Structures are given as structure tokens and as C-alpha cells.
Structure 1
Amino acid sequence: MNFPTTCPECAREVPAEFADSLIHDLTCPACKARYVVFVRKQKFEVLFDLGTRALLEGYAREAVASFAAALERFFEFYVRAYALERAADAALDFEDALSALDGTWRHVASQSERQLGMVALAYLLREGRSPDFLTPGALGSDFRNRVIHRGALPRREEVEAYAARVFGLIDRLLTELGPGAAQVELAQERAFAAHLATVPEGVVAVFEEHPGMFRARRFAGPEAAVKGTPDKAPTPPLNDAQAFAWALAERGAGPGPLKRR
């Protein structure tokens, strides 16, 4: 998926393709200026936005694949957040903790069932209760498998229901994580800083924060998460489908990327 960037030298719009690292070394085709764009966004957020765009453009089956991948990557995000949160509580060195976490994750990186096991244990240790969201029904596993593995062609309303289920689960766990999510954000910032240190003199660094389905709800305060009025406390959405529908509408009307020089 491409996203627009603006050349800091000539202000020409230059399309860029999302990179796995969310670090983009670019050259303007017009003035040949070099610049690097750092996108402050987690991979699960990018994948969910991919699914949202596919759904809005009528590619229902492709949307399911992106929503399913977003959930898997969010589970990795959750495990990382918990592990780094515990390391911070124990006053362990952040780089050592991150290195140990990366080494541990390699053992399960290609095995989704083992990843679910790590999520289950992390949730139990953090919240003190069994993860009620890891059942096939809660995850929408049957629908996902029919579409991805058996080639089913889903109707749009089925995809919207699946997306609402995934959205509701991620949003709930993000809320429960609260400040714990900041540890993974810090890991991303450190990766950005390491790359920035290698950027040659004269290459402009641009940091962007893109609007997204979860980012506004997680970072913009309570008014972004639920509707309300100044003289009345906001009322949470009644169900996941409502929350997803509201966020989808906000995503469609959201502002462009925020650029920082």
C-alpha cells in the first residue's frame, strides 16, 4: 500500500510504499533531494488500515487476509508490551531485555499456535485471569479459515462483522494495556534513532503520524474514543460493530499525515 509523502525540498508529492520497518529512504524524482520518512505506527495498525482500505474499495476477500494478519501481529505486540513492561518494572536494561525478547520470539515466529500460547500466558500473568478471547468463536477462526485456506468468497457484511470482531478485541486489549503499550513504542523510537544515526548529512528526516483506526482512539484522549458532549460524559459504543462503524467513518474523513521536520 502506498502513502503520500511531500518532498521537503520542492514540496512535490512523492508516493512511498509502506516498508516492513516503517522507515522509508526516498529520493524525489523531480529535484533528486534525498529524505527519510519515519512512520510512527505499529505493524498491526498498518495491516488493519490495509484491510479497511480494501473493504472500502470492494475487495472483501483481500480485506479478510489483512484483518487476520493484523490480529496476529497485535498478539505479538501484546507479548512484547508485557515482556518489556515487566523488564522496566524490574529495572532491567532495556536493550538487554529487547535482545532477549527478540531471541525468544524467533522460536515461535513461524508457528502461530505457539504464539497464541505466549499470548495466553502473558495475559494470565498480567491480568490474573484466563484469556476468554482465544476461543475459535471469539477469534472468528472458522470464517477466517474458510476465506483464507478454503478460498471462500465472503459477502461484504460478513467481512464487516469479522472486522468488527477483530477491531473490538484489539481495542479492548489496548485499553487494558494502557501505558504498557509505551514500551513497544519506545522500542520503535530506538530503531528509528539507530537508523537516523546512519543518515548522511543533508538528508532531511521527516517523522509522520498517520491517522488510523486505533491510533486516534489510543492517543487522542477519551473524546476520540467515544462520542459525547462537553456537558455530558461520553457513552461507550454498545457493541464492537458500533465501535468499528464509528472508527471506519472517522478513518474515511480523517486528516492527512502530520509531518514533523
Structure 2
Amino acid sequence: MLFPTRCPECAREVRAEFADSAVHDLTCPHCGAEFCVLVRKHKFEVLFDLGTRALMDGYAREAVATFAAALERFFEFYVRAAVLERMADSETDFEGALAALDGTWKHVSAQSERQLGMFALAYLLREGRAPDFLTPQALGSEFRNRVVHRGALPRREEVEAYAARVFALIDRLLTELGEGAAHAALAQEAEFAAHLARLPGHVTAVFEEHPGMFRARRFGGDVPGKAAPDKAAPDSPRNDAQAFARALAERGPGLDHLLREHFLKEPFRKGGGDRS
């Protein structure tokens, strides 16, 4: 899916396609300027937002597949955050910890069941309790498989219920991660820094913060008006059944604005400081 950005030279709109790496090397079709857009957003966030956009546009079946992918990628995000957080207390430097994590993840990168197992262990080690929420019923696995693998055509209300289930679980686990999620964010910043170091001097780098379903509160900290999740009741989701509906009403317009119009950006010239 495309998102709009603006050329830092001529300020005219350029359409870019979301990239796996969140790094987008672009050439303005209007003035020919080369620039690089780095989106501070993790893959699970992008996928969930794209699923929401598909749901809003009436593509129910496509939305289910995208929400399912968002949940899988969030489990990877959680593993990365938890492992890097744990290794931060050791004598291993961050680059070494990241390399060890990447090397380990390669063993399960093509097998979703093994990835789920890694998440379950990471959750147990971090929270001190079993992830009892990983049941087929809690994850909506039967519905997902019926739609994704057996070609069922779901009703919109079924998709909304599935999206609400995924949203509640991700939001709860993000809250439990708290500041620990910053370790995964730091890994993304390290990837950005490595890419920036390879850019020619004439290329302008643009960092962007996009609105989204999970972007209203950046990872960590308390949610105004809400209590922390109950450690003694792991089966109880922190959000009620209407959490996704409320988030959609509050943040959907911003998401729609992102994919159709404009958004905030923070450009700077490599080696030349900030630009307004």
C-alpha cells in the first residue's frame, strides 16, 4: 500500500510504498531530488493499520489475513524486546546482543509454530507466569484458519470481533512490556543509523512519525485513566470488548488522513543539521 510523503526539495507530494525495512530510498518524480524516508514504525504496527484500512474500505477477508500477520509479527517484536532487555543486564554490548538474537531467530524465521514457542518462553521468563492467553479460542485461530486457509467469506461483524481480539491482546502486552519495548525500538534505530551511514552526502534523510492504531501512546508509560493490567489475572484482557471500536473512532481518521493526505515529518540534511 502507498503512503504520501513530500519531497524535501520541492515540497511536492510523492507516493511511496511501505517497505519491509521501514527505509524508503526515493527519487522525486517532479524535481529529481534523491531522499530517504525512514518511518519510525514497526512491522506489526504497519500491518495492523493496513488491516484496519482494509476493513474500513470493505475488504473483510483481506483484513483478517493482515490482522493475523500483525499478531505474528508482534510476537516477534515481543521476543526481540524481551531478549534485548534481558541481555542489557549482561556484559554483552548491544551490537553483540542484536547479532546473537538475529542469528537465533533465523532458526525459526520460516516456522510460525516455533516462533510462537519462542514467544511463550520469552513471556514466561519475563512475567514469571505461563501465557495462558495463547489458546485457540483466545487467539481466534479457528476463525482465522477458516478465512485464510479455507477461503471462507467473513461478515464484517466477525472481522471486527477478530480485530478487537487481536487489538486487545497486543495493547495489553505492550502495556506489560512498558519501557522494555524501547529495546526493540533501539534495534530499529540501529538499522536506520547503519543505512544513514551509507547514504551519499547529497541525499536528504527524512524521519517520519505516522499516526496509527497503537501510535496514540508510544510504547511504555501509563495509559491515562486506565489501571495497569492485573498480574494475578492473566486471562483477563486489559481492554473491554469495545476497545477496538473506541480506538477506531478516535484514531481511524488519523490513519485515513495518513494514507490519503499528509502527516508530520522531520527532515534533515545528512551532515548538515536539522531543516525546517
Taking structure 1 as the reference length, the TM-score comes to 0.92
Point out the structure with the larger helix share: 1
Structure 2 equivalent of residue 160 of structure 1: 160
Cα pair 1:35 1:204 within 8 Å, conserved: yes
Structure 1 equivalent of residue 274 of structure 2: none
Deviation at 1:245, TM superposition (A): 0.9
Structure 1 equivalent of residue 232 of structure 2: none
For structure 1, the residue ranges without an aligned partner over 5 or more in a row are: 227-233
Partner amino acid for 1:14?
V
Deviation at 1:164, TM superposition (A): 0.2
1:257 is the counterpart of 2:263: yes
Q: Matched residues, percent identical?
A: 77
Which is worse superposed, 244-253 or 188-197? 244-253
Structure 1 segment 241-252 matched on structure 2, within 5 A = 241-252=241-252
Structure 1 equivalent of residue 21 of structure 2: 21
Structure 1 equivalent of residue 145 of structure 2: 145
Cα pair 1:2 1:16 within 8 Å, conserved: yes
Change (3 A) 1:127 1:143: same
In 2, distance between residues paired with 1:220 and 1:130? 22
In 2, distance between residues paired with 1:173 and 1:235? 15
Say which SS state the counterpart of residue 46 (structure 2) adopts: helix
In 2, distance between residues paired with 1:241 and 1:208? 32
In 2, distance between residues paired with 1:238 and 1:41? 23
Cα pair 1:25 1:34 within 8 Å, conserved: yes
In 2, distance between residues paired with 1:25 and 1:56? 29
Structure 2 equivalent of residue 190 of structure 1: 190
Partner amino acid for 1:39?
V
Deviation at 1:238, TM superposition (A): 8.2
Say which SS state the counterpart of residue 173 (structure 1) adopts: helix
Partner amino acid for 2:165?
R
Change (3 A) 1:77 1:167: same
Cα pair 1:40 1:209 within 8 Å, conserved: yes
Deviation string 1:66-111 (CA, Å, 9 cap, x unpaired) is: 0000000000001111100011012421111111111111111111
1:101 is the counterpart of 2:107: no
In 1, distance between residues paired with 2:129 and 2:172? 15
Structure 2 equivalent of residue 124 of structure 1: 124
Cα pair 2:174 2:220 within 8 Å, conserved: no
In 1, distance between residues paired with 2:119 and 2:219? 24
Cα pair 1:87 1:97 within 8 Å, conserved: yes
Partner amino acid for 2:115?
Q
Say which SS state the counterpart of residue 85 (structure 1) adopts: helix
Say which SS state the counterpart of residue 198 (structure 2) adopts: coil
Say which SS state the counterpart of residue 245 (structure 2) adopts: helix
Deviation string 1:30-65 (CA, Å, 9 cap, x unpaired) is: 100110000000000000001000000000000000
1:66 is the counterpart of 2:62: no
Partner amino acid for 2:265?
K
In 2, distance between residues paired with 1:220 and 1:116? 23
Cα pair 1:174 1:218 within 8 Å, conserved: no
Say which SS state the counterpart of residue 218 (structure 2) adopts: helix
In 2, distance between residues paired with 1:101 and 1:235? 34
Taking structure 2 as the reference length, the TM-score comes to 0.88
Partner amino acid for 1:258?
L
Structure 1 equivalent of residue 170 of structure 2: 170
In 1, distance between residues paired with 2:32 and 2:88? 43
Partner amino acid for 2:112?
S
1:83 is the counterpart of 2:83: yes
Deviation at 1:242, TM superposition (A): 1.5
In 1, distance between residues paired with 2:221 and 2:176? 15
In 1, distance between residues paired with 2:220 and 2:247? 13
For structure 2, the residue ranges without an aligned partner over 5 or more in a row are: 228-236, 268-276
1:207 is the counterpart of 2:221: no
Cα pair 1:5 1:16 within 8 Å, conserved: yes
Cα pair 2:179 2:220 within 8 Å, conserved: no
CA RMSD after TM alignment: 1.7
